A and B are shown apart, each in its own frame.
Chain A
Amino acid sequence: NAGVTQTPKFQVLKTGQSMTLQCAQDMNHNSMYWYRQDPGMGLRLIYYSASEGTTDKGEVPNGYNVSRLNKREFSLRLESAAPSQTSVYFCASSGDRTDIGETQYFGPGTRLLVL
């Protein structure tokens, strides 16, 4: 039981390049989330998926797209990276229906630098 896994762990991009951040969970959770974490700003929700086949915008969706490939996987894509997207990206999942309050379980993060 690996929990939430993210790849890659680190990435350096040039402005304008594209990339996809991968996330997978093995807890049979319904909901998955993508956050970015910037110094002094806590976590901000980029996109979330309440269930397989659905996605919704969070607080800071501009410049990103997501795909809920199946129940396990939720990817985040940067079509044309910008320096403002330099951040640490966290994927999370929740939705064990025996767990009141929707505890979120986080992956280890992807550190992205856009030059």
Chain B
Amino acid sequence: AQSVTQPDIHITVSEGASLELRCNYSYGATPYLFWYVQSPGQGLQLLLKYFSGDTLVQGIKGFEAEFKRSQSSFNLRKPSVHWSDAAEYFCAVVLNTNAGKSTFGDGTTLTVKP
């Protein structure tokens, strides 16, 4: 069965430190890949997505993600974390673009220390 795994439930980093959030998927083909961010009490907002081409994707708020087919991974990175980045981050995949159905990972909660 198709699945999306975010191995880290909770990550704490210091402000200004670099960040990497992991995402792995299990599908037969390369799906469309997304990262969303959810601030407390809010809905989800798209950070970036990958569907083809350059495997390093730039998103909003200084985030980037790299697709690695050999590892079935789509990890999210940021060189220098800001306190406002504290939120929950979700990786998602879409396999059947006709329906647009997404499968979400369980999320990673990011805490930023001053």
Contacts and interface: CB of A to CB of B under 8 A. Distances in A.
Contacts of A4: 43
Given A42-B105, A42-B107, A106 B44 contact: yes
A43 B99 CA distance: 17
Interface in B43-59: 43-46, 49-51
Contact of B34 (A35, A95, A101, A108): A101
The size class of the interface chain B forms with chain A is 20 to 34
A42 B43 contact: no
Give the most central of A90, A103, A107: most B CB within 10 Å: A103
Interface in A75-111: 90, 92, 94-95, 100-109
A76 B22 CA distance: 33
Nearest to A94: B100
B111 interface: no
A50 B101 CA distance: 9
